[in-house]
Amino acid sequence: MTARTHMPVGHEAREVKGWVGAHRFLLLRRFSQVFFLALFLLGPWFGIWIVKGTLAGSLTLDVLPLTDPFILLQGLVAGHWPEMTALIGGLIVLVAYALIGGRVYCSWVCPINPVTDAAHWLHRRLDLPKGWQPKRSTRLWILATVLIVSALTGVIAWELVNPITMLHRGLVFGMGFVWAMVVAIFVFDLFVARHGWCGHICPVGAFYGLIGAKSLLRVSATNRAACDDCMDCYAVCPENQVISPALKGKPGSSPLILSPDCTTCGRCIDVCSVDVFKLTHRFDDAVVAPPDPAAAPQTRAARPV
């Protein structure tokens, strides 16, 4: 490894924008994750029943039903036609994520995200090799497998192992041995495969990615002309294959990150010291004009670790 890739990720952004500025989206995401979890926990812990149920299915303020569309789909192929309540709830979730971005669920709501984020943080700190890297399409294969198994066995198959709903249910209803499963995913992501679970295996993320393939909310490398090739965005991005087409696209190509794999976590916006990225909508493909060649940013000098 070169000294360059060894530089602490986001170091420059911290110097330029300050700690809070360089962690804005991370803080917002943690707040969002805690917020959604708290909504579910207020009832069982404090008797304030705003939301009842779990991420699989819930009822908010006794009127708004929400259902996980992936679980609903498995139930459908398993041969059970659900009641209207679940169908409406599933439709609301489907439309919401189709609009704002399917994998927004992954980075802003999913309770497993902090676990795999922590694994990745430690992975970087320990400078571990990236390990087993199955193709990104593996999760789509698993998604198809889950649906086939559901159809053949008549059981909602992924709920037999789904760590997302298990951890959430564990926190809201009772943990059992779910903690062991969470530890297993942490260890898997830390030692076996970098970004292994969320980035390669999880069919829930794959499903939400498909939902949000044409979603409105997008990150754009609007100011890509200012990029100084520090690679920090690649280092923090959980799906870093999505960056290049937007950031390193030919002049005239869209600066929008349009891949359904992008979780819109905004970490790239945080760690960029020259503010290449911004959060925008999918029709905003404006690019900041390349500055005068004389004023082009200096490529970052390598510093000793």
Partner 1 sequence: MSLVGKPLSPQRRRFLQDSARAAGGCLVAGSLLAYLGRDARALPAEALRPPGAVPEDDFLGACIRCGLCVRDCPYDTLKLAELGVDAVATGTPYFIARDVPCEMCEDIPCVAACPTGALDKGLQDIDDARMGVAVLVDQENCLNFLGLRCDVCYRVCPVIDEAITLELSHNDRSGHHAIFAPTVHADRCTGCGVCEKSCVLPEAAIKVLPARLARGNSAEHYRKGWEEKAEKGGPLVEGIIDLPDRLPGPGADNLATPGGYEPGYNLPGAGQ
Q: Which is nearer to partner 1, 143 or 258 (CB)?
A: 143
Please state the closest distance from residue 154 (CB atom) to partner 1, in A: 5
Interface ranges with partner 1 (CB under 8 A): 43, 52-54, 56-59, 65, 67-68, 71-72, 75, 78-83, 85-86, 89, 135, 137-138, 141-142, 144-146, 148-150, 152-161, 165-166, 169-170, 172-178, 180-181
Unique residue bearing structure tokens 């400078």: 127
**Which of 171, 156, 168 shows the shortest CA–CA distance to 77?**
156
3-state secondary structure of 294: helix
What single-letter DSSP state applies at residue 59? E
Between the alpha carbon of residue 197 and those of residues 129, 151, 187, 227, the distances in Å are 16, 24, 10, 30
Q: Which is nearer to partner 1, 73 or 268 (CB)?
A: 73
For residue 12, give every residue at least 6 positions away whose Cβ sits within 8 Å of its Cβ, in sequence order, or none.
230, 232, 273, 300
Please state the closest distance from residue 20 (CB atom) to partner 1, in A: 37
The CA angle 142-138-66, to the nearest 5 degrees, is 50
Please state the closest distance from residue 142 (CB atom) to partner 1, in A: 7
Please state the closest distance from residue 37 (CB atom) to partner 1, in A: 15
Q: Which is nearer to partner 1, 148 or 279 (CB)?
A: 148
Please state the closest distance from residue 52 (CB atom) to partner 1, in A: 5
Q: Which is nearer to partner 1, 165 or 215 (CB)?
A: 165
As a whole number of angstroms, the distance between CA 41 and CA 49 comes to 9
Q: Which is nearer to partner 1, 174 or 251 (CB)?
A: 174
